[in-house]
A and B are shown apart, each in its own frame.
Chain A
Amino acid sequence: MLKSRKELDAELGGAARAWLDEALAEAAHDAARTEATHDAPGPEATGPCTSPPWELRYAAAGRHCGLEHADSVRSLLLVEARASLPSVTRLYEQGTAAERRAVLLTLHRLDLGDTAVPLVEDALRANDTRLVSAAVGPYAADHLDPHAWRHAVLKCLFTEVPVAAVARLSHRARGDAELARMLGDLAAERTAAGRTVPEDLRTVLALTAPAEGAQQAPPTAAPAAPAPTEES
């Protein structure tokens, strides 16, 4: 989904490509500067006047490179700048939904360990499906604890974010009896309400089966009635 520099270069027009070149150079410059002063205690840039120039480029990416490329451009900037936790936190907290999304999509490509988990947790509290789908990527697969990860999967089912967005779903779901229980309860609740059981629920439930062919309870039978249209 995210495009590489080479792919972007092939798709962007001349002005946008030049803008991206300058933006990435600024990000690389900031990474080098941070590297050079790494051991020296100094104030982190915290405000609009002290933020490094590439962070302003980060905000403006959509209008210079096109909304369809904004995720990719912002992600490249974060990687090029080797963005630190204070930097990604600031960009997330002060960002539009689109800017937050690009942070979430890039966390696994930055050297952050598990320190950025609060950003993922924040996104999983949102109801904006652009944020929810971006929050369940590889970083969440690596760092969310079992309880938070199971709730992230359920959140996808509730907000109709396709579970295909959940990174390493089959790996983490395998043999997860608690997730299977939660999915079974959700199916029962839907059935009791005369609502359809999402196909994705069956998909995930099947994945919770233990690897060695142990038995897993089948999902509650789906009702034939159509789902209401207001919510699902």
Chain B
Amino acid sequence: MRIFDPHIHMTSRTTDDYRAMYDAGVRALVEPSFWLGQPRTSPASFFDYFDALLGWEPFRASQYGIAHHCTLALNPKEANDPRCTPVLDALPRYLVKDSVVAVGEIGYDSMTPAEDHALAAQLQLAADHGLPALVHTPHRDKLAGLHRTIDVIRESNLPPEDVLLDHLNETTVKAATDSGCWAGFSIYPDTKMDEDRMVTILQNHGTEKILVNSAADWGKSDPLKTRKVADAMLKAGFTEDDVDQVLWRNPVAFYGRSGRLQLDVLAPDPLHEGNSILRGGE
């Protein structure tokens, strides 16, 4: 079984997670830039973070045989902080990088005018750079937030087939799929979605243009939720081809729209045997 986790924050995870993910079948992932839990106070700390998503984290992933790509953006929550908004001006130099496969996470958190501006500006950046967009849908007032998101996308220069609406659930899946966008579901231990509810959604809505991710980060989350959904799908009678479509071909098709997906992990240095992040000076 091959698995592509289209949304996971590996910066917050350990090498044990990388190993377990590889053992579970994960061979590729996309790490969206997002909020770190602790607010940032200057654009420079975003840039260091972006540099890590373009440097150190792909190196770590490659040691475990996993292809790492990222999406970069000013996230919705920090779009409200004027100390952080200059990040928007620097994004163009980052969006030309080879392993950037989308603009994201963008979208709404509290649905403020500042978030309106950041979302529209970054949808335009995606269009300008030939990139799709990964759009976070809000935790609070989710359905209203989704409708507002879709309205902004319609007004943008980015076609809906270049947009992945993420963190969907039973109440938002219909409006999302009716919009022509791709539909993403984050499977969490307690919140958002669980694997059995995900299977029900797949039974009701089919397997086209639907992506499943773990969205694992520094919170209570599980980087193996993608595999658990795959197992739950098989148990519920879906075929292996259905599983491959949802957990591999759909994310490949969506992020492949960037033209930048490189799924052949360059072989790790044989001396590393794929299992060591070596520390200098020990």
- Give the interface of A toward B (CB within 8 A): 47-49, 51, 56, 59-63, 67, 70, 94, 96-100, 126-130, 132, 155, 158-162, 229-232
Contact = CB atoms under 8 A, between A and B. Distances in A.
Contacts of A51: 93
Contact of B97 (A47, A59, A161, A229): A59
Contacts of A155: 280-281
Contacts of A128: 55-56, 59
Contact of B55 (A48, A96, A231): A96
A67 B59 contact: no
B266 to A, nearest CB: 7
Interface stretch (B195-203, B226-234, B271-279): B271-279
The B interface, classified by DSSP as helix, strand, loop or mixed, is loop
Interface in B257-282: 259-260, 262, 266, 269, 271-273, 275-282
B271 A162 contact: yes
B280 A231 contact: no
A231 B277 CA distance: 7
Contacts of A63: 98, 259-260, 262
B92 A48 contact: yes
10 contacts: A48-B90, A48-B92, A59-B96, A60-B96, A97-B54, A97-B59, A127-B279, A158-B279, A159-B280, A160-B269
B262 A56 contact: no
Nearest to A61: B98
Kindly list the 10 A-B residue pairs having the minimum CB-CB distance in the complex, ordered from nearest: A48-B93, A97-B55, A62-B98, A96-B54, A160-B271, A59-B96, A159-B278, A128-B59, A48-B92, A158-B280
B280 A127 contact: yes
B269 A96 contact: no
B65 interface: no
Nearest to A200: B271
Contacts of A99: 97
Nearest to B272: A160
A96 B98 contact: yes
B145 interface: no
Contacts of A67: 98, 262, 266
B276 A231 contact: yes
B272 to A, nearest CB: 7
Contacts of B271: 160, 162
B99 interface: yes
B58 interface: yes
